[in-house]
Amino acid sequence: MGFSDQRFDVNLSILFTELPLLERPAAAAAAGFTAVELWWPWIDTATPEQSELDALKKALEDAGTQLVGLNFYAGQLPGPDRGALSVPGDESDRFRANIEVAADFAASVGCKALNALYGNRVEGVDPQIQDTLALENLVLAARAADRIGAILLVETLNKPESPLYPLVSAPSAIEVIDKVNAATGLGNAKFLLDIYHLSMNGEDVSQVIAEYAAKTGHVQIADNPGRGAPGTGDLPLEQLLDELKKAGYDGWVGLEYKAADAAASFEWLPAEARPAR
């Protein structure tokens, strides 16, 4: 197997960031990719003007790129906030206001995966209050995703870079996913298996794959150390992706690494691995 047997997409919120948002889909297409994903692009608002949503839709369509993953509103990302849905007050309200906006936009471009970052712990707030709020909001998000035929993703981040984020192990994310599915009965909450974050947490990634591949709805990769392209660090990414394939995962693998020059960072990837299949 190997890299050429995978379906890769480009995360346009971390790659091609030297370009304006609306120029990134065309840049990804020029590099040979027909699938992309995005964090919520409007970090200052959960409810952008319809004209902004329409402009992004047109940019994706004009480039011939399929959006395969989209984050719900998550505050300042990249940045310190790391999510909104478990943060009482304005941030949680913004997340709720964003749910149908994000779902409707995803439906308009055929996106079938919506990612909900859990949110940081807040000083002075009982963690149980945050967890109860998170479950309520994730249930709403799962139902919105189901309405458009999509899955809801929940991901693990890493403690060194996100010390206030509570889901910093695969089991912690799976526990939340199981609670959401039990509450909705929909079964559409899935694990976003990010190999970089798992490795930063010191987890045995092969073991995580063996245990949770069946609950995985999306995969993201970056090498470690450095969060660079495959081959810039020490992770056996080709081997790990082969293990995912053998375990039954046949979905998208998002390229969520940092590169000063995105177009020049794909030398590791065979050209035949880039187009959607």
Give 265's pLDDT tier (boundaries 50, 70, 90): very high
Report the alpha-carbon distance of residue 257 to residue 231 in Å, rounded: 12
Q: Of the residues 91, 155, 203, 243, which is catalytic?
A: 155
- Of 2-6, 188-192, 203-207, 237-241, the one with minimum mean pLDDT is 2-6
Amino acid identity for residue 232 in this structure = T
Per-residue pLDDT, 275: 58
**pLDDT higher than threshold 60 for residue 249:** yes
Which whole number is the average pLDDT over 235-257? 97
Q: Of the residues 37, 91, 243, 256, which is catalytic?
A: 256
The residue among 242, 216, 238 whose CA lies nearest residue 229 is 238
Amino acid identity for residue 139 in this structure = V
Set out the domains of the chain in order of their start, with CATH numbers.
Answer: 3-273 (3.20.20.150)
Q: Is residue 228 classed as helix, strand or coil in its secondary structure?
A: coil
Q: Is 37 known to be catalytic?
A: no
Per-residue pLDDT, 81: 77
* % of the chain beyond a pLDDT of 70: 98
Phi, psi (deg, nearest 5) at residue 143:
-70, -40
Task: Give tens-digit pLDDT for 192-203.
Answer: 999 999 999 999
C-alpha torsion sign, points 181, 187, 188, 191: positive
Task: Give tens-digit pLDDT for 222-233.
Answer: 999 999 999 999
Per-residue pLDDT, 82: 83
Task: Give tens-digit pLDDT for 12-34.
Answer: 999 999 999 999 999 999 999 99
pTM for this model (two decimals): 0.96
Task: Give tens-digit pLDDT for 95-149.
Answer: 999 999 999 999 999 999 999 999 999 999 999 999 999 999 999 999 999 999 9
- The full 3-state SS of 229-256, as one line of letters, equals CCCCCCCCHHHHHHHHHHCCCCCEEEEC
Report the alpha-carbon distance of residue 112 to residue 128 in Å, rounded: 31
